[in-house]
Amino acid sequence: MGNENIVLLSSREIEKMRQVGKLAAQLLDHLEKMVKPGISTYELNEEAEKWTKAHGAKSAPLGYGKPPFPASICTSVNDVICHGIPDKKQILKDGDIINIDVTPILDGYHGDTSRTFFVGTPSPIAKKLVEVTEECMYRGINAVRPGGKIGDIGAAIQEYAESQGFSVVRNFVGHGVGRVFHTPPQIPHYGKKGTGKKLRPGMVFTIEPMINEGTWEAEMGDDGWTAYTKDRKLSAQFEHTVAVTNDGVEILTLNR
């Protein structure tokens, strides 16, 4: 993927990304209130779809890809790394962790963000994993600056995750986003500082580290979407969409 494939967004387009990013953050805030023992992931999905439509947006995941993704959000519980499919039979229970990944489309632009929530009271290892994963995301974001390299992001994430005794998923990466859901550049969450493409103002992409309790290796489920940890230990994820600015980085998926 050469630099010519990377779309640089104008200030007008970045303002559109701020608007949809704020909407995405508000959707997660709304769903967070529902995350309690006894609720199904299907109910979370139905509420997300209803809320998204009520706010004049549509859900990018619904019907995306091959096979077409059958839901409006991804709900990844415990040992699911990402792309978990909401299900009536999947009832959240005390001690679970759940990543909810949302991408509304507003005025043609995608707002992509996710958070991992505790269901009731987490175990000490689950609590540590989720806290470390969120910190990994912010360390990755803080490594973004014009003239820096994509490898700086993954290096910052990997160094911290592994220093805490966890592993970084290799199979899934961050990505460019704007009018199109997934575009170049790819943003690995591991790597070496000073390697990869140069970061330039106007680049907009996700940083979405998936951090595992045990091995980083993944296995795909039969549905063609759900990714599990190979050892069936816990996995957590946090995601923001960011823009490279003239003097640093701006998080676009904030409720402000």
- What are the boundaries of each domain within the chain? 3-251
Q: Tell whether residue 222 is among the known ligand binding residues.
A: no
Where b means 16+ CB within 10 Å and e means fewer, 62-89 reads beeeeeebebbbbbbbbbbbbbbbbeee
Mean pLDDT score, 168-197: 98
Using one digit for the tens of pLDDT, what is the confidence trace for 207-216? 999 999 999 9
CATH of 3-251, one of 3.40.50.1000, 3.90.230.10, 3.40.30.10, 3.30.70.260: 3.90.230.10
Q: Measuring CA to CA, which residue among 7, 52, 60 is closest to residue 178?
A: 7
Q: What digits encode the pLDDT tens for the residues 125-155?
A: 999 999 999 999 999 999 999 999 999 999 9
Per-residue confidence (pLDDT) for residue 28, from 0 to 100: 98
Give yes or no for residue 4 having a pLDDT over 60: no
Task: Determine which helix (DSSP H) or strand (DSSP E) holds 40, and give its type and residue range.
Answer: none
**Confidence band for 10, pLDDT divided at 50, 70 and 90:** very high
Q: In what order do the strands lie in the sheet with 104-106?
A: 58-59, 104-106, 109-110
Query: What's the pLDDT at 1?
Result: 40
N- to C-terminal Cα distance for the chain? 34
182 assigned ligand-binding residue: yes
Ligand-binding site membership of 239 (annotated): yes
The reply, when asked if residue 175 is annotated as ligand binding, is yes
Which pLDDT does position 2 carry in this prediction? 47
